[in-house]
A and B are shown apart, each in its own frame.
Chain A
Amino acid sequence: MGGGREVPISLEGLRDKNLMQLKKLNTALFPVRYNDKYYADALSSADFTKLAYYGDICVGSIACRLEKKEAGAVRVYIMTLGVLAPYRGLGIGTRLLNHVLELCSKQNISETYLHVQTNNEDAINFYKKFGFEITDTIKNYYTNITPPDCYVVTKYITQSKK
């Protein structure tokens, strides 16, 4: 058994046929059920929502929503990003986030943001590594957990010349 046991990681798009995979991931990762709008948004975000495969096994996902800003501009809201516990520390989360960021810069989308609970330092540090900054605080964003406040964490990508 040599060191050649590197299991390839690949990203695949979300489709009707594998939607259940995302649902299973979310059930395992997050303590809530997402509504239909979440899945509709994810499906219509096209390449901005991806499932991550460890070999043949689906182990993580990033799900985004494209939001219209004034003057026809678009920004990306990261709804969820998560990797199954046993498969963390293998760079899969980084791979997923990088994918979205690269896509943003390719499509000249200047703003990517998300919400993070104010005490979640690991997550905040994780996003800071990718150039995200805390841009706002929303009081009482959450109803049933403490602290109830969240940060808005945003990354602005400087527009490449049009």
Chain B
Amino acid sequence: MGASLPPKEANLFKLIVGLTLNCMDRKTEAYELVRQGLKNDLKSHVCWHVYGLLYRSDREYREAIKCYRNALRIDPENIEILRDLSLLQAQMRDLAGFVETRQKLLSLKPNHRMNWIGFSVAHHLNSNASKAVEILEAYEGTLEDDYPPDNEQECGFLERALEELHKKEFKIVDKLVYKEQEVSLLVKLGRLEEAEKLYQALLSMNPDNYRYYEGLQKCVGLYSENDQFSADEIDQLEALYKSLGQQQKYYEGLQKCVGLYSENDQFSADEIDQLEALYKSLGQQQKWSSAVKRIPLDFLQGNRFREAAENYIRPLLTKGVPSLFSDLSPLYDHPGKADILEQLILELEHSLRTTGQYPGRTEKEPPSTLMWALFLLAQHYDRRGQYDISLSKIDEAIEHTPTVIDLYSVKSRILKHAGDLAAAAALADEARCMDLADRYINSDCVKRMLQADQVALAEKTAVLFTKEGEQHNNLHDMQCMYELASGESYFRQGDLGRALKKFLSVEKHYADITEDQFDFHSYCLRKMTLRTYVEMLRFQDHEDDEMSKLPPSQKKKMRQKQRKAEARAKKEAEEKHEESSVGAASKSGKRHVKPVDPDPNGEKLLQVEDPLLEATKYLKLLQKNSPNSLETHLLSFELNMRKQRILLAFQALKQLLRLDAEHPDSHRSLIKFFHKVGSMAAPVTDTEKLIWSVLEAERPTISQLHEKSLIEGNRTFLEQHKGHSQPLPNVQYENLNICSIVMTPPHPTLLFFFLLADSLMHRAAVAEMLYVLEPDKKPEAIKLIEESTNNIVPKNGALGPVREWKLKDCIAVHKFLGTVLVDNEAALRWKVRCAEYFPFSTYFEGSLSSAVPNSAYNRICKRSENGSANHSGGETGDSLASNGKLETFKDLTI
């Protein structure tokens, strides 16, 4: 076709065809054509540009940049290419390059405002803020922008920034941000009095902004990260918040607005009446700011806390605020406050139930107040792990007012915590059915279904809220990370292929989000939304940190890959066996059996050549993004142990010990590592010898093992973490043959602290390691676990005991007994015991769980079955209807 064209045009033609093909998803052909074009004319900037565009559309940005650079070498002043290049540089955060390109663009087209701004932004991003300011100043005349202050603040010229800010006040449109900037500069400059006033002013604009309160506290020197204050400070703070609560300023302004203001409070009788009415209505609203009443709960203690909490909670129960518990829940981490809250709410409940009023009031509360109090109590007991009380409270609330959806959602959550996932999903579905138009409730229900491993049902439910048509794609496009939960469910069910597929799509979401920035590089410069643009770029850079939210998925993925690797290793071993007996034919035959379908189930994904290598990729990501997570290093340890990378495993081990040496998993890793090292053959090669010498040099630095054998180390760990046992050092464990040596704990103070810590998981770790080190000590290991006691947490609450053990941990122990120690009897004993502690747990088949007939959940199901029998009644239904109606009227008092 192109034969009839002159060479240059023929080439161009090829490029156009190439680009078209690219758009048509025929990538390989496109690349082929463009490469041919280049071959024909290496000096064509168009060819290079198109080549770059191809790479860009494939998100191969580095390659694309190279191509653009080549193009620019040929045509250094091509605006198009320069602009494209600058976008890529911004995307890749090649900031130096970005500045350079922007400068070039500016020098070529100095009459474009966007080029000035772009150059300035480039400098700003490249942390050369003073330069950015200079550029802007040079271009000042036509500038109407609120950009500079932000800018200068970052470069440390605080004084100047403030000056500039004041100078530009009239130009800056966003007054709120102006004030926020100003106050932050004042604080940084140490001009606290001015800052305090400004914070007060900001609070009058928005009395519910917690950051302003925090700032104000800092200004008056009453700030503490964790709300630890001296008695004196608490007094001052209380006074501060009291005065804030009565903010004169609002009232003054309000009076002015309604034309009822006088300097010296001289009013006519009529005005006084009006004012009285005004303040009455204000008093009734009682909610100028909930923040000003909520914040003191953080720092008050004892009786003053109680009083403030009661004043805070009462009106919110009256009003019916479903989120009240989550608002209060941080207080449960403060010692003693949970007990106070419990007593307080119980008293309210009692008073409401018996008199319909709050204690000490004569006024009747709305009927719903009792229901909200029960609702709050249910969540309180849920938080404390007292699921039976919690459920009885929520059931009572549901009986009181069966139409409130939140009650069902909370009941679902309680059941989930109590360990009955199927019942939790059923309840969530009930809540969903009560408002089919509510996306949140729908999502909540999907989550519960996934937790109960009802994936098919969950997908059907989720799809209800997607657009018509391609529903599953749509679900994916919403980037709601639903794949995380669904992948986890598949993982639990052992469907590794599907799980992996889901996890990978989460990863893709993150890639897409990073990708989406691209649209903004040009758009934001054009639209001049610079502050937001810079903010967005910074946010994206922090996304890596944000990705620590992602790791659970990746971690799982890795774990899964490891598991897979194990399975694979086993299989290979089997295959080798077969090979020797049956010959190679069966081996290849076996390989071929695996279906090669287009992979809806992720089976192909499972056939990765080297799963451990894949896993290493993700491990690297994790190490980069969440280096302070214990789990990262735990995985790194496991992975490297499997890969026989002794030194890397050791590195991970050291990180584990650094982060939390007392964690059961750190301990496990420590023992496992040295046990493995100890069982390895003597070093032969130079590398092996090198590794050996490194370990030899390092071992003494590990305090847990100082001069001790592993068995001793294991025992020390046990002693340090043995629940409420008496202080050491001379405890004898008659059950443990290994306890011949008396240990002095290394850090007596630390030790005391850990004595109070939960010890079940530590025991389990010790037992497991005991078994690893001395397989014949299995009975001791089991005994060690079975001797644990589920202690009662001391508290003053009125209802029932709170125990220490967590359901999750007990399940882990059960699995350990069954699968690692392989003692079914012990596992069964453990199960029976835990069924007592966790009667709602389906895992332990507790007596109240849906795993057992006649449980609460199954009763619900039965009831609805009875009901549906009536449905078919046809005509009788009507007569029954009237029958029912009569019942109501009996109670209907008029």
A residues adjacent to B (C-beta < 8 A):
1-5, 7, 16-18, 20-21, 24-38, 54-59, 79-90, 93-94, 114-117, 120, 122-123, 125-126, 129, 141-145, 150
Contact = CB atoms under 8 A, between A and B. Distances in A.
A97 B294 CA distance: 43
B262 interface: no
Given A16-B436, A32-B884, A85 B891 contact: yes
Closest 3 CB pairs of A and B: A30-B884, A123-B889, A33-B867
B6 interface: no
Given A31-B883, A32-B880, A142-B879, A7 B892 contact: no
B886 to A, nearest CB: 4
Nearest to B282: A2
Given A1-B361, A18-B435, A24-B402, A34 B890 contact: no
Nearest to B437: A17
28 contacts: A1-B286, A1-B363, A2-B283, A20-B435, A24-B403, A27-B867, A30-B883, A33-B871, A35-B873, A36-B871, A54-B366, A54-B367, A55-B320, A57-B404, A80-B881, A82-B888, A87-B368, A87-B401, A116-B886, A117-B882, A120-B890, A122-B889, A122-B890, A123-B886, A141-B879, A141-B882, A142-B879, A143-B876
Contact of A80 (B280, B363, B879, B885): B885
B882 A150 contact: yes
A25 B886 contact: no
A32 B870 contact: yes
Contacts of B435: 17-18, 20
Contacts of A84: 400-403
Interface in B840-894: 866-874, 876-894
Contacts of A81: 885, 888
A116 B881 CA distance: 10
Nearest to A41: B878
Nearest to B370: A86
A138 B890 CA distance: 20
Nearest to A93: B892
Contact of A125 (B280, B867, B894): B894
B820 interface: no
Contact of B885 (A55, A82, A85, A144): A82
Best-buried of B314, B368, B873 by chain A (most CB within 10 Å): B368
Interface of B: 280-281, 283-284, 286, 314-315, 318, 320, 361, 363, 366-368, 370-371, 399-404, 433-437, 866-874, 876-894
Contact of B877 (A17, A38, A58, A126): A38
Contacts of A122: 889-890, 892-894
A124 B168 CA distance: 77
A38 B401 contact: no
A120 B889 contact: yes
B890 A123 contact: yes
Contact of B888 (A24, A29, A57, A129): A29
Nearest to B403: A58
Contacts of B884: 26, 29-32, 80
Contacts of B371: 86
Nearest to B322: A56
A107 to B, nearest CB: 23
A34 to B, nearest CB: 6
B881 A32 contact: yes
B402 A2 contact: no
Contacts of A85: 891
Contacts of A20: 433-436
A57 B401 contact: yes
Given A18-B436, A81-B885, 15 more contacts: A1-B318, A3-B363, A18-B435, A31-B883, A33-B866, A35-B872, A80-B884, A86-B367, A86-B401, A88-B891, A93-B892, A114-B885, A115-B879, A123-B892, A142-B879
A18 B441 CA distance: 13
A35 B434 contact: no
Contacts, number: 177
Best-buried of B281, B284, B885 by chain A (most CB within 10 Å): B885
Given A4-B281, A57-B401, A59-B401, A83 B366 contact: no
A90 B318 CA distance: 16
Nearest to B882: A115
Nearest to B320: A55
B890 A116 contact: no
Given A20-B433, A89-B893, A56 B320 contact: yes
A145 to B, nearest CB: 6
B91 to A, nearest CB: 44
Given A1-B286, A2-B280, A32-B884, A129 B315 contact: no
Contacts of A4: 281, 284
Contact of A17 (B399, B436, B885): B436
B894 A129 contact: yes
A116 B320 CA distance: 36
Contacts of B879: 115, 141-143
Nearest to B364: A5
A79 B877 CA distance: 11
A78 to B, nearest CB: 8
A82 B888 CA distance: 6
Contacts of B401: 57, 59, 84, 86-87
A117 B367 contact: no
Contacts of B866: 33
Contacts of B366: 5, 7, 54-55
Contact of B868 (A33, A54, A120): A33
Best-buried of B283, B363, B403, B894 by chain A (most CB within 10 Å): B403
B245 to A, nearest CB: 16
Contacts of B881: 30, 32, 34, 38, 79-80
